[in-house]
Amino acid sequence: MGLKMLLVDDEPLARSRLRTLLADCKNPAAEVAGEAANAAQAMEHLRRQSFDGVLLDIHMPGADGLALAQVMRTLPDPPAVVFVTAYAEHAVSAFELEAVDYLTKPVRLERLEQALARIEKARQGRAGGPEPEEVLVIQDRGRTERVPVAEVLYFKAELKYITVRTAARSYILDGSLSELEERHGTQFLRVHRNALVSRRAVRALEKQFDAEEGEGWAVRLNGIDESLSVSRRQLSAVREALAS
């Protein structure tokens, strides 16, 4: 049985094109189980039946697609959301709302099939499959990139930005360290007022000498050569992480 899809777009021609493309999708297959021209109509459909996924336009009269996606997250069994829009600048907002994909118009069959595969994966996750992978959405030199949180070795606050370090490279993220700690605190450990490190990556705690602060401590992480300073306040927490 194919994925049950809801199409939400104020342009009838756009919905018609998506219907045609969905009919050509084979792996996975999908069927249009409902259509809506605005957020209110979409919510009427969602109250009456459940859907596996929603292909959702962003720019619509009244409540836009981002607002509708926010409301859908409160449903008992929310469908997976794929944004379909002509405006690529909303990608970061879309992924913050946990959209599984983001398609730009005109939609190509190949990209639509990739989006449906992600909806299928999300549906399996809701049915008791593996937990969906946590990602950071980072804008870097004109492109939007999804970086798995599991690959991050540390977050370090520098001026107005956060450096995100993986074994492969560094990224720059807009945000605050406290927000990251609140969101990912089970996976990361604060070692200093300006740094969080991956608990699983902590390799060693060693003494270091700093010209400004004198003798202190630093933590070394698997996968990179650099070390990060550990404040006296966080020293016992780092020792506990190493012991466990």
- pLDDT, one tens digit per residue, over 84-127 is 988 766 555 656 667 888 888 899 999 999 999 999 988 876 65
**In one letter, which amino acid is 205?**
L
- State how beta strands 80-85 and 53-56 pair: parallel
The residues, ordered by sequence, that sit 6+ positions from 82 with a Cβ below 8 Å of its Cβ are 53, 54, 55, 56, 99, 100, 101, 102, 103, 115, 118, 119
- pLDDT, one tens digit per residue, over 25-82 is 998 999 999 999 999 999 999 999 999 999 999 888 888 888 998 899 888 889 999 9
- Of residues 56, 52, 55, the one with CA closest to residue 3: 52
**Domains parsed from the chain with CATH numbers:** 3-126 (3.40.50.2300), 149-243 (2.40.50.1020)
